Amino acid sequence: MAEDREPPALLDASHAGSTDPEDGEDLFVSAVSKMEASPTSPAEPIIISSSNGPEPEPEEIFLDEDPDDLFAEATEEVSLDSPERQPILSDGPSPAITPVTPTVTLDPRVSEAFARSPDQDEDEEENRDAFDVQISVSDPEKVGDGMNAYMVYKVSTKTSLSIFSRDQVSVKRRFSDFLGLHSKLASKYMHIGYIVPPAPEKSIVGMTKVKVGKEDTSSAEFVEKRRSALERYLMRTVKHPVLLKDPDVLQFLESSELPRAVSTQALSGAGILRMVNKAADAVNKMTIKMNESDAWFEEKQQQFENLDVQLRKLHASVESLVCHRKELSVNTVSFAKSSAMLGNSEDHTALSRALSQLAEVEEKIDTLHQDQACNDFFMFSELLGDYVRLITAVKGVFDQRMKTWGKWQEAEMMLQRKREAEAKLQYANKPDKLQQAKDEIKEWEGKVQQGERDFEQISKIIRREVGRFEKDRVKDFKVVIVKYLESLVHTQQQLIKYWEAFLPEAKAIA
């Protein structure tokens, strides 16, 4: 596919130029990311692997930042091995906090730089055999003591894609690193319409138990649950063709040292600001009344609302199933014990043996129950939980579209006002102010166009993302169903073995 089919005007150098002053005005902390290596340094293996040859011009990409950023100090500069890649990654809040001052969202350029053309991504999606990344999260290790302790996980990536610097790499990461990664991705991509997979949830209770050093099954379960969730999170993230190429993701997977993501802590300044954000968003949602001109979006939103309800119901059903299975396990063990006692007290030798065997069979069956409960849990309960959270991300993206529309409308209103102001000045005959007014009109015309483009862009991206989401959803469920059936078949076959072993014992009772 021709990558240049629909280059948004943003790629034009002129536009890049015109929007720069805007950025400068707002004292942005610039996040610079150069995607491509210059062809003169062949040693740099960061070229996006794709069939399309020429790369877009190196661009500067800015992330919007609030001038009153409380944690400018949280911004850390990381210099990676390759001098060509100098992303300054910000742990700051998502641009959603940006106040109403009109700012151009430059991020569509980010998406373009990363994603090239939309069609190219679809190409890569179709060549799924080209998608060859396996990530595993393993070996949870406790580091430190008491309340300062934390778990460290080994993240191993195996791949043949050339955007990675090595075929296999292992790094150690802690939970807050994952949250940091998600926070960065969300701040970069969500407001242009990409569905960023949500990170696993924090759990203060669960973690405290682990920190305090309780070596019981519930902490072990918690760690396993978290490990599995982190693995699924990373796999979902890299399955996204755009996120896969994000330098933050690559750094996360490959770099041996990662700056501590402090702003992910719940009670940090960033955390509090996130809460304020959420409140602001909620208010915005109520005040922006969008004129939906596209029925597709309305339908989809309704569908997702319905799906949300359905998934939550399913999740509750599965949780109940898991709970009962655990209960069955407890009862089976109890019964096994009681029949063992009966066997011990029984005089008749063969009967005594048979009863003891009965106890053993029941214990083995119990192990099967526990395994099956685990399967129920991990396969369904967690999957459904993941999807409930994903739907929240999807809804978030729809909300972003609404915000983008809102910004565009605001720009229209400002333009209108400026035009009115200019008309007034015409009468008042103040030539110097008139020029300024004309300049402002031009500026706002630009902003209106930008707003419209942004809106169209986000709409387009959302359509694509939703399509991808729906395909992935079906795939995910299919995979889980097959795995679940395999586990069911396996359990039954084990059961058959146990019963077949017991039958001669029963028959041997004289």
Partner 1 sequence: MEGSSAESALSVSADSIRITDLTQDGDVLTFAITSQKLNSSAGVCVFRAYEDFEWLQQSLFSQENVPGLQGIIFPPLPPKALPLQSNMQTKALKQLGFLALGQDWQGYCKALEFYLQQVATHPTLFKCKALDSFLINSESPGKQRGRKGIFNRLSQAVEEMRKESHKDVDNFFQNERNKNTNIAALSKVATEKLIDVVMTEQKLALACGHFSTSLHLCVNQDDAAAVAFSKVCLKLSDIIEAVKQNFEKVASNNLTTLGLGLDLESRYQEAEKEMLFRRTCKLIELETVKKSTEKAKANKREVMEEFQKAVEKEFSLISSVAKEEIERFHSSRVNVLKNVLIGWCEQQLNTAKECAELYSQHLEACRNMYSE
Q: Would you give the end-to-end CA distance of the chain in angstroms?
A: 80
Q: Which x/- pattern, by CB under 8 A, does the window 200-219 give for partner 1?
A: --------------------
Q: How far is CA 74 from CA 66, 67, 69, 110, 256, in A?
A: 13, 14, 10, 22, 20
Q: Which is nearer to partner 1, 73 or 347 (CB)?
A: 347
Q: Is 129 in the site for partner 1 (CB under 8 A)?
A: no
Site residues for partner 1, 311-330, by CB under 8 A, read 313-314, 317-318, 320-321, 324-325, 327-328
Least distance in angstroms from the C-beta of 476 to partner 1: 9
Least distance in angstroms from the C-beta of 385 to partner 1: 15
Q: Which is nearer to partner 1, 26 or 505 (CB)?
A: 505
In this structure, are residues 167 and 363 in contact, taking their beta carbons and an 8 Å threshold?
Answer: no
Q: How far is CA 355 from CA 364, 487, 494, 508, in A?
A: 14, 29, 20, 12
Q: What is the CA radius of gyration of the chain?
A: 29
Q: Which is nearer to partner 1, 27 or 309 (CB)?
A: 309
Q: Is 383 in the site for partner 1 (CB under 8 A)?
A: no
Angle value at C-alpha 249, between 246 and 254, nearest 5 degrees = 125
Q: How far is CA 338 from CA 1, 355, 367, 369, 456, in A?
A: 71, 10, 17, 19, 70
Q: What is the DSSP letter of 207?
A: H
Q: Which is nearer to partner 1, 150 or 304 (CB)?
A: 304
Least distance in angstroms from the C-beta of 509 to partner 1: 4
CA distance 361 to 462: 55
Which residue of 134, 218, 331, 436 would you call a contact of partner 1, by CB under 8 A?
Answer: 331
Q: Is 470 in the site for partner 1 (CB under 8 A)?
A: yes
Least distance in angstroms from the C-beta of 318 to partner 1: 6
Q: Is 471 in the site for partner 1 (CB under 8 A)?
A: yes
Q: Which is nearer to partner 1, 11 or 342 (CB)?
A: 342
Query: Does residue 157 sit in helix, strand or coil?
Result: strand
CA distance 376 to 353: 34
CA distance 86 to 25: 23
122 CB-near residues (< 8 Å, 6+ apart): 1, 464
Residue pointed to by tokens 């990170």: 199
In 3D space, the residue among 97, 98, 304, 273 whose CA is nearest the CA of residue 195 turns out to be 304
Query: Does residue 168 sit in helix, strand or coil?
Result: strand
Beta pairing, strands 150-159 & 76-77: unpaired
Least distance in angstroms from the C-beta of 467 to partner 1: 7
Q: Which is nearer to partner 1, 270 or 354 (CB)?
A: 354
Q: Which is nearer to partner 1, 150 or 477 (CB)?
A: 477
Which residue of 183, 332, 400, 450 would you call a contact of partner 1, by CB under 8 A?
Answer: 332
Least distance in angstroms from the C-beta of 356 to partner 1: 12
Residue 53: CB atoms within 10 Å? 6
In this structure, are residues 183 and 237 in contact, taking their beta carbons and an 8 Å threshold?
Answer: no
Least distance in angstroms from the C-beta of 495 to partner 1: 4
Least distance in angstroms from the C-beta of 2 to partner 1: 27
In 3D space, the residue among 393, 461, 446 whose CA is nearest the CA of residue 112 turns out to be 461
Q: What is the size of the binding site for partner 1 (CB under 8 A)?
A: 57
Least distance in angstroms from the C-beta of 189 to partner 1: 22
Q: What is the DSSP letter of 96?
A: G
Query: Does residue 175 sit in helix, strand or coil?
Result: helix
Q: Which is nearer to partner 1, 111 or 332 (CB)?
A: 332
Q: Which is nearer to partner 1, 185 or 462 (CB)?
A: 462
Measured in residues, the chain has a length of 510
Residue pointed to by tokens 């001098």: 83
Site residues for partner 1, 271-310, by CB under 8 A, read 299, 303, 306-307, 310
Q: Which x/- pattern, by CB under 8 A, does the window 430-469 give for partner 1?
A: -------------------------------------x--
Site residues for partner 1, 478-507, by CB under 8 A, read 478, 481-482, 484-486, 488-489, 492-493, 495-496, 499-500, 502-503, 506-507
CA distance 435 to 428: 13
In this structure, are residues 209 and 192 in contact, taking their beta carbons and an 8 Å threshold?
Answer: no
CA distance 85 to 16: 20
Least distance in angstroms from the C-beta of 492 to partner 1: 4
Q: Is 130 in the site for partner 1 (CB under 8 A)?
A: no
Angle value at C-alpha 354, between 350 and 357, nearest 5 degrees = 140
Least distance in angstroms from the C-beta of 362 to partner 1: 8
Q: Which is nearer to partner 1, 279 or 509 (CB)?
A: 509
Least distance in angstroms from the C-beta of 308 to partner 1: 12
Which residue of 241, 335, 395, 434 would you call a contact of partner 1, by CB under 8 A?
Answer: 335
In this structure, are residues 169 and 81 in contact, taking their beta carbons and an 8 Å threshold?
Answer: no
Least distance in angstroms from the C-beta of 291 to partner 1: 23
Site residues for partner 1, 337-376, by CB under 8 A, read 337-339, 341-342, 345-348, 351, 354, 358
Contact positions vs partner 1 (CB under 8 A)? 299, 303, 306-307, 310, 313-314, 317-318, 320-321, 324-325, 327-328, 331-332, 334-335, 337-339, 341-342, 345-348, 351, 354, 358, 467, 470-471, 473-474, 477-478, 481-482, 484-486, 488-489, 492-493, 495-496, 499-500, 502-503, 506-507, 509-510
